[in-house]
């Protein structure tokens, strides 16, 4: 006999439906998911929705997909408008009667897919002409929100234009990547053998020519002070990119210290290698490894003779920070007292990494608040972790 949920509270006592992939859980037993399927039940209201999913999900605020199709909902509960990461909402096959109900969803900035077919609102006069992918009435409801977002996030919009749209256009026209164009500029304007002048030239290129998405001088000062303070014997950098942070580290290293830097993209690595050598650093000081961090980290001890990294700099993809930090722990590559410095933890952000660092009990955390280079209004930060050793 199939049982249907008549109340949201029924979720607490029911086992989740099995899917193609097994559901992951946190240490507290809560589900680690961004999707919630409540379809094909007899729900007619969403009373206690927030309280229930807080008991079931580790990060309820991350919900991006909610399926409430084929229930008995007569209206759109305001609770759905509190999930600002929501991008997909299925409401087809319910009992929603007023098209105006949909206007409540105008507050959701990331909502891109909404289904309404199979509701009584289909019988409302003008529904067929008003609703295609989105009716003009709904579009008008979204207009004030769009204007507000454009004003509030104008700096993000400028960043999008400079770092994505214009960059893609120039990549297409020049048949060169931005890193390669930046290197050509450095060759023309910078002094070989002078890492400080090369860094200044890259900053000038990013500010006046094309936005480079590099660490920049403000964060760079924090990194250099940390290297000078810790005087590490060996530094491991994950994510070389255009070698900006690599040159900062190498410049501040004490004599005899070593820097290993890993870059996944071979084409980017070629440019980075040229910049490193142009600055005057040889392979004994700075060794560039081409490959994915997931594959290289387990081979660091045997293939690259790295027994310990006193300082680890994470500057690649924030979504990979947690995985790579746990790999470093698993292979015992960080001694007690080692420092980990991670960039872009607030923008675009690394929430799972930060949550782990704060809750696992093996790190002391310090957050350095900064802005993006050339976009100081966009808040970002570097997090500095001090490793206490295995728990």
pLDDT in tens, 177-232: 999 999 999 999 999 999 999 999 999 999 999 999 999 999 999 999 999 999 99
Half-sphere exposure in the Cβ direction for 73 (13 Å, CA): 30
- Percentage of the chain surpassing pLDDT 70? 90
Q: Is it the case that residue 386 has pLDDT exceeding 60?
A: yes
Higher pLDDT, 40 or 313: 313
The predicted structure's pLDDT at residue 285: 96
Quick one: average pLDDT of 68-77? 89
The predicted structure's pLDDT at residue 16: 62
Quick one: average pLDDT of 132-139? 49
Higher pLDDT, 71 or 150: 71
Q: Is it the case that residue 75 has pLDDT exceeding 50?
A: yes
Whole-angstrom CA distances from 253 to 229, 234, 237, 250, 280 are 10, 9, 13, 5, 14
Q: Is it the case that residue 351 has pLDDT exceeding 70?
A: yes
Q: Is it the case that residue 28 has pLDDT exceeding 90?
A: no
Which pLDDT band holds residue 7 (cuts at 50, 70, 90)?
confident
The predicted structure's pLDDT at residue 2: 38
Q: What is the pTM of this model?
A: 0.66
* Relative orientation angle of helices 195-208 and 244-252, to the nearest 10 degrees: 150
Three-class secondary structure assignment of the chain: CCCCCCCHHHHHHCCCCCCCCCCCECCCCCECCCEEECCCCCCCCCCCHHHHHHHHECCHHHCCEEECCCCCCCCCCHHHHHCCCCCEEECCCCCCCCHHHHHHHHHCCCCCEEECCCCHHHHCCCHHHHCCCCCHHHHHHHHHHHHHHHHHCHHHHHHHHHHHHHHHHHHHHHCCCHHHHHHHHHHHHCCCCCHHHHHHHHHHHHHHCCCCCCCHHHHHHHHHHHHHHHCCCEEEEECCCCCHHHHHHHHHCCCCCEEEEEECCHHHHHHHHHHHHHCCCCCCCEEEEECCHHHHHHHHHHHCCCCCCCEEEECCCHHHHHHHHHHHHHCCCCCCCCEEEECCHHHHHCHHHHHHHHHCCCEEEEEEEEEECCEEEEEEEEEEEEECCCC
Measured over the CA atoms of residue 324, residue 330, residue 333 and residue 338, the dihedral's sign is positive
- Pick from 116, 16, 111: nearest CA to 57: 16
The predicted structure's pLDDT at residue 115: 84
372 φ, ψ (degrees, to nearest 5): -75, 145
| C-beta separation of 336 from 360 below 8 A | no
pLDDT digits (tens, 9 = 90+) for 287-305: 999 999 999 999 999 999 9
| C-beta separation of 389 from 342 below 8 A | no
Quick one: average pLDDT of 12-39? 76
Q: Is it the case that residue 17 has pLDDT exceeding 70?
A: no
Beta-carbon contacts of 106 under 8 Å, excluding residues fewer than 6 positions away, are 138, 141, 142, 144, 145
pLDDT digits (tens, 9 = 90+) for 137-155: 455 555 666 777 778 888 9
User: Which of the residue ranges 31-45, 132-146, 235-249, 302-316 would you say has the lowest mean pLDDT?
Assistant: 132-146
Phi-psi region of 213 (alpha: psi -120 to 50; beta: other; left: phi over 0): left
Whole-angstrom CA distances from 59 to 39, 50, 66, 381, 383 are 21, 12, 14, 22, 21
94 φ, ψ (degrees, to nearest 5): -110, -160
Whole-angstrom CA distances from 110 to 63, 84, 146, 226, 352 are 11, 7, 11, 38, 20
In order of start, what are the domains of the chain with their CATH numbers? 8-152 (3.80.10), 213-387 (3.40.50.150)
Higher pLDDT, 296 or 41: 296
Quick one: average pLDDT of 369-380? 92
Higher pLDDT, 113 or 362: 362
**Average predicted confidence (pLDDT) for the chain:** 88
Output 121-129 pairs: Cβ under 8 A, ≥24 positions apart. 121/96, 121/97, 124/97, 124/98, 124/99, 127/99
The predicted structure's pLDDT at residue 19: 52
């Amino acid at each position: 006999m199939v049982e249907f949920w008549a109340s949201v509270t029924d979720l607490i006592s029911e086992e989740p439906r099995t899917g193609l992939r097994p559901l992951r859980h946190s240490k507290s037993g809560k589900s680690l998911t961004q999707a919630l399927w409540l379809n094909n039940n007899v729900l007619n209201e969403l009373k206690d929705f927030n309280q229930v999913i807080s008991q079931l999900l580790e990060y309820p605020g991350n919900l991006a997909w909610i399926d409430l199709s084929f229930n008995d909902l007569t209206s759109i509960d305001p609770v759905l408008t509190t999930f600002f990461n929501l991008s997909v909402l299925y409401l087809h096959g319910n009992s929603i009667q007023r098209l105006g109900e949909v206007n409540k969803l105008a507050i959701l900035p990331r909502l891109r897919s909404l289904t309404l077919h199979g509701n009584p609102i289909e019988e409302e006069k003008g529904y067929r002409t008003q609703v295609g992918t989105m009716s003009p009435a709904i579009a008008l409801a979204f207009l004030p929100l769009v204007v507000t977002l454009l004003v509030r996030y104008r700096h993000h919009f400028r960043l999008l234009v400079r770092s994505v749209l214009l960059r893609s256009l120039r990549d297409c026209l020049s048949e060169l990547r931005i890193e390669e164009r930046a290197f050509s500029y450095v060759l023309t304007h910078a002094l070989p053998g002078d890492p400080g002048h090369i860094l200044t030239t890259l900053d000038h290129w990013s500010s006046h020519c094309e936005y480079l998405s590099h660490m920049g001088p403000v964060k760079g000062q924090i990194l250099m002070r940390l290297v000078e303070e810790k005087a590490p014997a060996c530094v491991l950098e994950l994510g070389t990119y255009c070698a900006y942070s690599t040159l900062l580290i190498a410049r501040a290293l004490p004599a005899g210290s070593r820097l290993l830097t890993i870059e996944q993209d071979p084409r980017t690595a070629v440019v980075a290698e040229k910049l490193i050598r142009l600055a005057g650093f040889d392979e004994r000081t700075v060794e560039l490894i081409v490959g994915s961090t997931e594959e290289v980290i387990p081979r660091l001890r045997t293939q690259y003779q790295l027994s310990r990294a006193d300082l680890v700099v994470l500057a690649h993809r924030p979504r990979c920070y947690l995985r790579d930090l746990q790999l470093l722990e698993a292979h015992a590559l960080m001694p007690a007292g080692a420092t980990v410095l991670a960039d872009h933890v607030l923008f675009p952000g690394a929430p799972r990494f930060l949550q782990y660092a704060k809750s696992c009990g093996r790190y002391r955390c310090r957050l350095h608040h900064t802005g993006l280079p050339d976009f100081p209004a966009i808040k970002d930060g570097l997090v500095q972790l001090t490793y206490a050793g295995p728990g």
